[in-house]
Amino acid sequence: MELIDGKMIADTIKGEIAAEVEQMVARGERRPHLAAILVGHDGGSETYVAHKVKACEQCGFTSTLIRYEDDVTEAELLEAVDRLNRDADVDGFIVQLPLPRHISEQKVIEAIDYRKDVDGFHPINVGRMSIGLPCFVSATPAGIVELLSRYGVETSGAECVVLGRSNIVGKPVATLMMQKGNPGNSTVTVCHSGTRNIKEITRRADIIIAALGQPGFVTADMVKDGAVIVDVGTTRVPDASRKSGWRLRGDVDFENVAPKCRLITPVPGGVGPMTIVSLMRNTLLAATRKIY
């Protein structure tokens, strides 16, 4: 069993991006600029956004964090999106999800100019990805595919089982894994809460991508020997031994599953750092007008 070291690969890629940014600056171009809107004080969202701001510093980007309290109205948020759409100094921006229940996430996502949608959540980017056109690919799926590629995992012809069908991870990663190309070309099965006999399906998998948000869901009896496992889960579970009182737990019962695997991502330190770095790459693509 070998661990997939997402943190190490993410650090390497951040170094590559930072070098490219310094060349841009030496040519007299301005630094890429990423803005983030954060609503409320959800612990997970605070942590993600803090990591994104720190990654901007490491890559030599300018970053702007715009904060609102939980009681911000949908109209106010849509105005903020519109201001960022029109701000020529901002190359790309994200609205951290989830949003409070009184705000339509879909309305906010669709209000973002798709040319600045570095999260790749706008229907134009989702649609372009699904038919294989250049676009901003959402960060977690892009990071997963990059990890598999950097670890030399043969995806062509592989049986890939995706657990979860979210718009942010399950659906787009299934699309990427099945697309004609390398990485890609896998035979993909997507399992979800309506799936019968999940165990029979996962036991066939050469590659399992677990993204359902249920800690420890994937147990050793669900995994064939030599499988490659990507764990996207990041649930906070109580842990009295930590100062914070919690720790992150993935969707895979790591302790019992890892010995059976050829490769497996840890939580934390696997997919998470790659998600952030994919967002940095999308921002660089936006700043250099490589896509739109």
Footprint on this chain of ligand GUN (rule: CB under 6 A): 94-97, 119, 139-140, 168, 275
Half-sphere exposure in the Cβ direction for 89 (13 Å, CA):
6
Give the residue numbers annotated as catalytic, written as ranges: 52, 96, 119
3-state SS, residue 31? coil
- The 8-class DSSP code of residue 222 comes to G
Residue 113: how many CB atoms within 10 A of its CB? 17
Minimal distance, residue 109 CB to ligand GUN, in Å: 9
Minimal distance, residue 246 CB to ligand GUN, in Å: 17
Q: Looking at beta carbons, which residue is closest to ligand GUN?
A: 97
In sequence order, which residues have a C-beta less than 8 Å from that of residue 233 and are 6 or more positions away? 210, 211, 212, 213, 214, 215, 217, 249, 250, 251, 252, 267
Nearer to ligand GUN, 162 or 205 (CB): 162
Minimal distance, residue 94 CB to ligand GUN, in Å: 4
How far from each other are the two terminal CA atoms of the chain, in whole angstroms? 42
3-state SS, residue 130? helix
Nearer to ligand GUN, 140 or 265 (CB): 140
Check: CB of residue 252 under 8 Å from CB of residue 216: yes
- The 8-class DSSP code of residue 127 comes to H
Check: CB of residue 103 under 8 Å from CB of residue 79: no
Minimal distance, residue 198 CB to ligand GUN, in Å: 24
Nearer to ligand GUN, 205 or 274 (CB): 274
Q: What is the DSSP string of 41-108?
A: --HHHHHHHHHHHHHHHHHT-EEEEEEE-TT--HHHHHHHHHHHHH-TT--EEEEPSPPPTTS-HHHH
Nearer to ligand GUN, 47 or 185 (CB): 47
Nearer to ligand GUN, 93 or 254 (CB): 93
Minimal distance, residue 16 CB to ligand GUN, in Å: 21
Dist CA 52 CA 29 (whole Å): 22
